[in-house]
Amino acid sequence: MSEPTSPSVRPREWRLVSRPHGVPTADDVELVPSEVPEVGDGQLRVRNVVMSVDPYMRGRMSDAKSYAEPYVLGEAMHGGAVGVVEESHAERFAAGDHVLHGLGWREVAVLDGSSARVVDVDAAPASAYLGVLGMTGLTAYAGLTRVAAMEEGDVVFVSGAAGAVGGAVGQIAKALGASRVVGSAGSPEKVRHLTEDLGFDAAFSYRDGPVRRSLRETAPDGIDVYFDNVGGEHLEAAVGSLRLNGRVAVCGMISVYNDTEPAPGPRNLSRLIQTRGRIEGFLVGDHYDLAREYFGRAAGWLADGTLSLRETSVDGFENAFDAFLGVLGGDNTGKMVVRL
């Protein structure tokens, strides 16, 4: 075991100090020295090396009733992170191990061994376990295979396709035999990334005109599956393009996360009657039973190049909040991570 963290060099943490109204600002958070508790029986002290910033964190900054508890004002936020074990009082963990856990937004964390998982950084970079080999990839896989019940030959449309989940969705859909995969993104550079790097059959920028029109041009025969990361205009366009027995898996609606008034819903839901279509929202936490199956397949896809790692990284813990705002603004291509 290594020596405990020196009290003269106090690690830092990001705390939520006020509930954002609309787009979060720097006044809603603070970066402060943290108090690192003693490591108890069954616990680990971990120095984080990379952490995740994700759209869902915006919801946890609010105190509205949701699927997850809101962040507590005056306390450190949390999210996915990978770190190195500095001290272990838990079986199966040793100093020097890299572990995946949920206490990001801090430089040093003390946590129960039951909430950590050892990861192999020789097999893949640490950040991959926050992306395609972590919750991001499992979200894409569960949404496609279970919620949308994707079948070989389906035409799949993905919004927010250049983001972490969206990029994984498109690649996994191709691996599972989709006949055509179409993605939307926010810039010509991201559109090129989808088709040239990730293997999408077609892509368009939602900034170039109505999504409805762009979707009909890129999927003229309609779609069987829509994986929704955006909501709003994208969802309405997808409902309008659904084929018979089409399915919509609602993973996120980033277009409305900062809205201060309720966003209008799709105006064409009656079309679900004609198409016998189905819309279903989901949370990855309800599908952890698929984890072993997915991670086994993902390892093979990574090895043969079917699945690629793409991320946007920001260096420096002090820049973590700016990185989070970048995710909300669509600045990232692939997974956004902060390297400590």
Average pLDDT over residues 259-282: 88
Average pLDDT, whole number, for the chain? 93
Do 115 and 141 lie in a common domain? no
Its pTM surpasses 0.75: yes
Kindly state whether residue 315 falls inside one of the protein's structural domains. Answer: yes
Say how far apart CA 317 and CA 331 lie, in whole Å. Answer: 18
112 Cβ contact list (under 8 Å, min separation 6): 42, 43, 44, 90
Average pLDDT over residues 71-84: 97
What letter represents residue 224's amino acid? D
* DSSP code, position 76: B
Task: Judge whether residue 44 has pLDDT over 90.
Answer: yes
Total domain count, the chain: 2
The CA dihedral of 101, 106, 111, 117, to the nearest 10 degrees, is 20
Q: At what angle do helices 164-175 and 135-142 cross, to 10 degrees?
A: 50
pLDDT at res. 259: 62
In this structure, the answer to whether residues 330 and 213 fall within a common structural domain is no
At 68, is the pLDDT very low, low, confident or very high (cuts 50, 70, 90)?
confident
Mean pLDDT calculated for residue range 168-188: 97
Domain with 155 in it: what CATH number? 3.40.50.720
Q: State which residues form the domain around 68.
A: 12-127+309-339
- Cβ atoms of 68 and 60 within 8 Å: the answer is yes
Q: Is the pLDDT of residue 72 over 60?
A: yes
- In terms of domains, do 229 and 278 share one? yes
Q: Is residue 82 located within the same domain as residue 153?
A: no
The pLDDT value given to residue 260: 58
> Is 294 a member of any domain?
no
- Helix, strand or coil for residue 112? strand
Do residues 62 and 18 touch, judged by C-beta distance below 8 A?
Answer: no
Whether residue 114 is found in the same domain as residue 31: yes
Lowest-pLDDT range, 218-222, 242-246, 307-311? 307-311
The pLDDT tens digits for 219-231 are 999 999 999 999 9
Indicate whether 302 belongs to any domain: no
Q: How does DSSP classify residue 289? A: G
Has residue 293 been placed in a domain?
no
Looking at the structure, tell me whether residues 139 and 268 fall in a common domain.
yes
Nearest 5 degrees, angle CA 224-CA 229-CA 234? 65
Q: Any idea which residue has 């926010």 for tokens?
A: 186
Domain co-membership, 277 together with 143? yes
Helix, coil or strand: residue 212: helix
Q: Which residue in the block uniquely carries the two structure tokens 């490591």?
A: 39
Please indicate, yes or no, whether residues 140 and 271 belong to a single structural domain of this protein. Answer: yes
Same domain for 47 and 114?
yes
Whether 175 and 279 map to the same domain: the answer is yes
